Each structure stands twice: as C-alpha cells, then as structure tokens.
C-alpha cells in the first residue's frame, strides 16, 4: 500500500486540478450575437459577454436579444454560468473595448480567464484542454497562448452576405485540429492576420504547432514587440486592461506588454485554437485605416503607456526579443512618415 502522505499529496493534486477552471471573456455589438449559440456550444463553460449598444434607444431590445442568446446558451454551459452585461455608449465615445473587457473580467469567478474578441469561435473542447494542463495553470505568472487563426470570407461586404456564406457555422468554421489543418492546406484558413500583420501572431509559430504533439511549448523569445497572442491567464495577479485605449488599435498589445513587463512566461497550448469568423469591416477599423490622426494619437498613447510600465517594472525579467533589432519599428515609421 502507498504511504499515507503520498495519498494525501495525490488528493491535494486532484483538488488543485479540480479548482482550475477558465472563463471565456468577450465583448461585442448586437450584430455579432448570431455567433453566440455556436460559441456556447463549442466552449461549454463559464462565459462573460459585454454587449455594447450605441445609444439608449435600443437598450431594451439589446437586453431582449441578449437574454435570448443567454437562454440558447444555458443548455450548453456544462455547469458554467453565462454572465451578460449590456453597456451603453457614453456621449459619442469610440467602441470602449478595454472597458468592456474589464467589465467581463470583474465578473469572473474562476481561477483563470481567456480574453477573446468578438468574431472568434473556440475549438471544440478548448476549455477541457486548458483544464487538463493543471501543472502549467498552477503558475500564476504564465500566459498560455491559444493559437489564433482565421476563416477566409471571400471579402463579404454585408453581414447578410457573410452569414449566407458561413451558415451553418459547424460545417464552415473548423472546430477541431484536423479540420483546421485541412482548412489551412486548402487555403480557406490562415494564421490570424497572417496576410496583413504577420508579426502579431508569428511568434506562436503555427507551422511548428501543426506538427507538434500534445505538450505545451514554452516560448523562448518574442520575434517582435508586436506579438499579441490570445492567452489564458490566472486571475491571481493579472492586471486589468488600460481603458484609455478605445476604438481600434493597440488595445490588446497594451495588455500583452504589461504581462511581459511583469515577468510572465509565455507558452503555447497544443491542439486547440481560436478561429476568427469573417465579417464586414467595422466602423472603428475604417476610421483607423482612414485617419492618420487617429493612428498617431493611439501610437502616442501607447508610447506613453510603455514608458509608464517601464518605469514601474524595469526590464530585468521580461521575455526577450529573439533579435536585438526589432525591425517592425523602423518599417512602421517609414510607412507613416509618408502619410
Ligand atoms: C459569478 O458569480 C456571480 C454571483 O453568483 C454571478 O452573478 C456572475 O454572473 C458570475 N460570473 C460569471 C462570469 O459567470
């Protein structure tokens, strides 16, 4: 018979594994709610959605739609609860993405969180795959990267034409590793933003991930300062998002940079993923692409933010860049100098 203390240690490990769970936190506008039933069906766990409505006139309607969505989810959450918050636009503000994320984060009751975005669906079984990595989750300063991909949409221009092309979602948007691999081979899927901003997810190294086994792979270094993966993080020490970032641009990299300054380790989850569903271009992205002013105001704020966190944490423990020269910066500067 095994010694008593060995049994006790086993029981403690089992209890620790039990106590790890992860809430999916996301935010969206009402037009995105059509994805919600499929999201719940795939996630099957605790979920916090912050729903933004542009003015007070449609709040009632938004609540009605949201609670209908919540009901459609209720059967699929496997013991997790769904929390929906409806947030109303404040005088003409841009989409308050980080405020919405923080509202969701404040409602989290689990040990861990995965902050995702509107338009993303998880792979089937993602929650269980995360919970199975209990040994990794025990590290309060680990950011477990969930690789992000996108389904191509053939440039659909309206919500209706996007939906027409994509419904039923279970057959068009890969939910399992094998389906994703096929979609990538057939060039109907690609790494998220792989076409227009490869630095954003390049460090995840998706080709290695595709060939990998079931083990978590630590990230030795960042290939770019613009790496902004979706990550599972313990709630224990996680900072909130900086709400000065609203609308399009730098709102997520801001948080990754913060974790990195705090000395978080990054490692890649095997076999499971998030996948972006195509949609017509959003208002804040149009504004971002059109306006040099918006762009440079956000860049200025981001530079200021980096100075603030550098002053607070120093540089000693952060994951380093793979190369001393971060080429992105110079390229970006040249592009905007001509604008
Ligand atoms: C956390 O628990 C509170 C109180 O029971 C509940 O109101 C809230 O919806 C829960 N949050 C989530 C994300 O399920």
Residue 322: CATH number of its domain? 3.90.550
Ligand 1 in contact with 23 (CB < 6 A)?
yes
CB of 108 sitting under 6 A from ligand 1? yes
Q: Is the pLDDT of residue 334 over 50?
A: no
Which residue has better confidence, 293 or 164? 164
Q: What is the pLDDT of residues 201-230, one digit of tens each?
A: 999 999 999 999 999 999 999 999 999 999
- 116-120, 134-138, 286-290: least confident range: 286-290
The pLDDT value given to residue 156: 81
DSSP-derived pairing of the beta strands 217-218 and 265-268: antiparallel
What is the rounded average pLDDT of the residues 155-160? 83
CB 161 within 8 A of CB 203: no
Q: Is the CB of 85 under 6 A from ligand 1?
A: no
- Decide: 81 in ligand 1 pocket, CB within 6 A: yes
| Domain contains 163 | yes
pLDDT score of 133:
97
pLDDT at position 330 is 43
Question: If you measure from the C-alpha of residue 36 to the centroid of ligand 1, how many angstroms do you get, rounded to a whole number?
Answer: 18
The answer to the question of residue 154 being in a domain is: yes
pLDDT value, residue 124 = 97
Owner of token pair 């929650």: 127
For ligand 1, what atom is nearest to the CA of residue 109?
1
DSSP string over 127-143: HHHHHTTHHHHT-TTEE
Q: Residue 280 pLDDT more than 90? A: no
In a domain, 263, yes or no: yes
Question: Which residue's C-alpha comes closest to atom 14 of ligand 1?
Answer: 81
Quote the strand ranges of the chain, DSSP E: 22-29, 47-53, 82-88, 112-115, 120-122, 142-146, 148-151, 189-191, 217-218, 230-234, 265-268, 274-276
Q: Structural domain of residue 289, as residue ranges? A: 20-329
Q: How far is the CA of 232 from the centre of ligand 1 (A)?
A: 19
Cα(251) to centroid(ligand 1), Å: 25
Total tally of structural domains belonging to the chain? 1
Q: Output phi, psi for 278, to 5 deg.
A: -65, 150
Q: What is the atom index within ligand 1 of the atom nearest the CA of 83?
A: 9
At 48 the pLDDT is 95
Nearest 5°: the CA angle 319, 259, 222 is 30
């Amino acid at each position: 018979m095994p010694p008593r203390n060995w049994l006790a240690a086993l029981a403690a490990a089992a209890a620790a594994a039990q106590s790890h769970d992860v809430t999916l936190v996301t935010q969206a506008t009402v037009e995105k709610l059509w994805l919600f039933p499929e999201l719940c069906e795939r996630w099957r766990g605790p979920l916090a959605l912050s729903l933004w409505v542009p003015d007070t006139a449609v709040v009632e309607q938004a609540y009605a739609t949201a609670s209908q969505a919540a009901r459609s989810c209720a059967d699929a959450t496997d013991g997790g609860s769904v929390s929906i918050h409806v947030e109303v636009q404040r005088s003409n503000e841009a989409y308050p993405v980080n405020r919405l994320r923080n509202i969701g984060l404040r409602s989290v009751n689990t040990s861990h969180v995965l902050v995702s975005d509107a338009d993303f669906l998880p792979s089937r079984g993602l929650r269980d795959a995360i919970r199975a990595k209990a040994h990794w989750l025990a590290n309060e300063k680990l950011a477990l990267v969930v690789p992000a991909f996108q389904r191509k949409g053939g440039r659909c221009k309206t919500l209706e034409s996007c939906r027409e092309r994509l419904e039923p979602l279970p057959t068009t948007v890969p939910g399992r590793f094998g389906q994703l691999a096929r979609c990538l081979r057939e060039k109907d899927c690609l790494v998220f933003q792989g076409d227009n901003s490869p630095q954003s997810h390049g460090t995840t190294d998706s080709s290695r991930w595709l060939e990998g086994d079931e083990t978590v792979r630590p990230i030795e270094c960042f290939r770019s300062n613009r790496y902004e993966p979706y990550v599972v993080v313990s709630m224990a020490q996680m900072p909130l998002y900086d709400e000065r970032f609203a609308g399009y641009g730098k709102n997520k990299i801001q948080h990754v940079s913060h974790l990195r300054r705090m000395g978080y380790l990054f490692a890649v989850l095997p076999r499971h993923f998030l996948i972006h569903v195509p949609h017509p271009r959003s208002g804040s992205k149009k504004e971002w692409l059109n306006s040099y002013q918006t762009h440079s105001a956000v860049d200025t704020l981001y530079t200021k933010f980096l100075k603030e966190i550098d002053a607070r944490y120093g540089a000693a423990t952060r994951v380093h860049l793979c190369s001393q020269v971060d080429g992105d910066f110079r390229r970006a500067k040249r592009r905007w100098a001509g604008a």
